[in-house]
A and B are shown apart, each in its own frame.
Chain A
């Protein structure tokens, strides 16, 4: 491939390294050394992570967790445009401000859909396994160029803004990755098998409705624990879906699978383990309650679980 995901890791690593440097030299941040170290370690994971021995990376992850856990990740002062200048700028640029913002999703979609299969000889243009991510990276760079051109601002200022938002997110930016890592550790340690064992060993599945409920709620519960419906699906479907719903009650496997996975997604809506969807947005929107998004989703998720139980019961 010509544009591989590795370039994006390097790009992210460089951005984080600049952030770490800016932070460490920012005297307005009372915790500038620990904060700088935190972003510095994260930058290293992106720049050379795959070349380091995994044990070292593991130690680095633990150090980052300790820095974050004991309040070592702080933020500095930031020079915003004053209110009047911002109003003038908004009044001058008007709808042009939307162009770079919309360019990110548009370029990403164009790349992921149209450029995905383009090859030069035998070489793919975009990394075929990660075409969406690579397209997002290209989209962000195109949008950055547009934004600098329209606002007559510099890439250096863009880096300052990136650092402002990175510091505002703080350790929450690293959390999704930590949780995904935990999911893999859970897998290696056999947590899934233990949960499925508990669910199937102590519940009487001789009633069709009970079996349906155990499958649907089990998918949700398991996803709440693991933070990911993909991890729950093999365990619950292997434990209950195939042997009980299909085997005993003759369910249509397509219906069972489709509704089962959606039940897992209901769990995703309710768990802090799915940090990318639930905790990061709360941080991005600067909400004081980091569980506010989950709270807003719980009624929809619970109603959807009831709907899924009924749909599976009547359609399968």
Chain B
């Protein structure tokens, strides 16, 4: 480290952390952090605004994937999609919220590993289908869920989609992240076959499935424990009977 490193831009990170911890409006926090970072790096105000503008235009694809499915999903919800998803899952007596999510995790992770990353997603899969099904599966066993458990279950639905996607997509060899790693290593004078990078992601991908599936299974047990008003002995019997 011969060249002096300017540590002042870290001020922007501090603004972000403080802003999120103090729960200010995130939009405002991010705008302030961008301004603070630019000023700390001694950019003139006009350059900072131009950097913000260029960055905003460059990243327009991000809201697209949320915005475009909304009309369809909204229209289907108006005609009872979520209601039907709940009723549909209630017909399978063996379905529990945890088992449903474990199955979804498996499908999401393996399809992502085959490059089919768009087979899930929050606006088009989790909100209209997965979340109502998980809720329906839980409600058909235990009746209406207490609010805290319901929130936890819905949050787990979103989490399961994320975990499946993240730890699946990176073992697909044509995925952008693999290309990025390959290119960067080449730049550092190391030539690695992209196939090998993808291959060595597999142990972590398996761990992710096992760890998250265990958590989902334990959530099922927690629902059982907290929502069946049976005496402890028969609750144990029920566990063994499964």
Give A residues with C-beta under 8 Å from B.
5, 8-9, 11-12, 15-16, 45-46, 49-50, 52-62, 64-66, 68-71, 80-81, 86-87, 89-91, 93-95, 97-98, 100-101, 104-105, 108-109, 112-113, 130, 132-133, 135-137, 140, 143-144, 147-148, 151, 153, 157-162, 164-166, 169, 171, 173-186, 188-191, 193-195, 197-198, 200-201, 225, 229-230, 233-234, 237-238, 242, 246, 252-255, 257-259, 261-262, 265, 268-269, 272-273, 275-282, 284-285, 287-289, 292-293, 295-297, 299-300, 303-304, 307-308, 311, 315
Q: How many A-B residue pairs have CB under 8 A?
A: 435
Asked whether any CB of chain A lies closer than 8 Å to the CB of B43, the reply is: yes
Q: Is B158 an interface residue (CB 8 A)?
A: yes
B10, A287: Cβ atoms under 8 Å? Answer: no
By the criterion CB–CB under 8 Å, are B156 and A153 in contact?
no
Residues of B in contact with A, size category: 35 or more
Kindly supply a per-residue 1/0 record for chain B positions 74-99, scoring 1 wherever the CB is within 8 Å of any chain A CB and 0 otherwise. Answer: 11111111011101100000000000
Task: With CB as the reference atom, state the residue of chain A lying closest to B5.
Answer: A197
- Set A101, A133, A178, A296: member contacting B72, Cβ < 8 A: A101
Known: A176-B63, A186-B12. A151 touches B68 (CB 8 A): no
Given known A158-B75, A242-B190, A272-B20, contact A173–B63 (CB-CB < 8 A): yes
A185 touches B81 (CB 8 A): no
Contact partners of B88 in chain A: CB under 8 A: 95
A225 to chain B, nearest CB (A): 5
Among the listed A193, A233, A285, A311, which residue makes an inter-chain contact with B154, where contact means beta carbons less than 8 Å apart? A285
Residues of A within 8 A of B159 (CB): 269, 293, 296-297, 300
Question: Do A184 and B72 have beta carbons less than 8 Å apart?
Answer: no
Which chain B positions have C-beta within 8 A of A98?
A: 81, 84-85, 129
B30 x A182 contact (CB < 8 A): yes
Q: Are A133 and B61 in contact (CB-based, < 8 A)?
A: yes
Q: A184 with B63: in contact, given A54-B50, A132-B118, A307-B204 (CB under 8 Å)? A: no
A272 to B30, alpha carbons, bound, how many Å? 11
Q: Does B149 contact A (CB under 8 A)?
A: no
Q: Are A261 and B200 in contact (CB under 8 A)?
A: no
- Say yes or no: is B237 at the interface (Cβ < 8 Å to chain A): no
Q: Are A258 and B180 in contact (CB-based, < 8 A)?
A: no
Residue B236 at the chain A interface, CB threshold 8 Å:
no
Q: How far is the CA of A300 from the CA of B129 in the complex (A)?
A: 23
Binds A, one of B52-60, B136-144, B224-232: B52-60
Instruction: Give complex CA distance A186, B51 in Å.
Output: 10
B162 to chain A, nearest CB (A): 5
The 0/1 profile, CB within 8 Å of A marked 1, for residues 1-37 of chain B is: 1000111011011001000100011111011011001
Kindly provide the distance from the CB of B117 to the nearest chain A CB, expressed in whole angstroms: 8
B5 → chain A, closest Cβ, in Å?
Answer: 4
Say yes or no: A280 contacts B78, CB within 8 Å. no
Distance of A261 Cα from B169 Cα, bound (Å): 11
* Chain B neighbourhood of A296, CB < 8 A: 152, 155-156, 158-159
Q: Which residue of A lies closest to B181 (CB)?
A: A257
Please measure, in the bound complex, the distance between the C-alpha atom of A177 and the C-alpha atom of B223, giving whole angstroms: 37
Residues 90-116 of chain B, each 1 if its beta carbon lies under 8 Å from chain A, else 0: 000000000000000000000000011
Decide: A191 near B13, CB < 8 A? Known: A89-B79, A233-B181: yes
Point out the residues of chain A lying under 8 angstroms from B125, CB to CB: 105
| Cα–Cα distance between A133 and B211 once the two chains are bound (Å) | 31
In the bound complex, residues from chain A placing their C-beta under 8 Å from that of B74 are 158, 160-162, 164-165
CB closest chain-B residue, reference A290: B26
B197 part of interface (Cβ distance < 8 Å): yes
Enumerate 10 A-B pairs (CB-CB under 8 Å) in ascending A order. A54-B50, A136-B68, A151-B75, A151-B79, A161-B75, A173-B66, A237-B184, A242-B185, A276-B62, A311-B203
Cα distance A281–B66 when bound, in Å? 10
B79 to A180, Cβ gap below 8 A?
A: no
Kindly state the separation between the CA atoms of A188 and B53 in the bound complex, as whole angstroms: 13
- Min CB–CB distance B156 → chain A (angstroms): 5
Closest residue of chain A to B161, judged by CB?
A281
Contacting pair B53 A55 (CB below 8 A): yes
Q: Is B46 an interface residue (CB 8 A)?
A: yes
Question: Are B56 and A45 within 8 A (Cβ)?
Answer: yes
Known: A101-B81, A144-B72, A194-B5. A177 touches B62 (CB 8 A): yes
In the complex, given contacts A49-B57, A97-B76, A304-B204, what are 13 additional A-B residue pairs having Cβ atoms less than 8 angstroms apart? A12-B68, A15-B67, A52-B53, A54-B57, A58-B49, A86-B79, A162-B67, A177-B63, A234-B184, A261-B201, A282-B158, A285-B131, A308-B204
- B193 close to A (CB within 8 Å): yes
Query: Shortest CB–CB separation between residue B93 and chain A, in angstroms?
Result: 19
B8 to chain A, nearest CB (A): 8
CB atoms of B118 and A105 under 8 A apart: yes
CB distance from A90 to the nearest CB of B (A): 3
How far does the alpha carbon of A25 sit from the alpha carbon of B204 in the complex, in Å?
A: 52
CB-defined contacts of A315 to chain B, threshold 8 Å: 200, 203
In the complex, the answer to whether B31 meets A62 with C-beta atoms within 8 Å is: yes
User: Are B155 and A194 in contact, CB atoms less than 8 angstroms apart?
Assistant: no
Quote the shortest CB–CB distance from A177 to chain B (angstroms).
5
Interface string of B152-170 (1 = CB under 8 A from A): 1011111101110011001
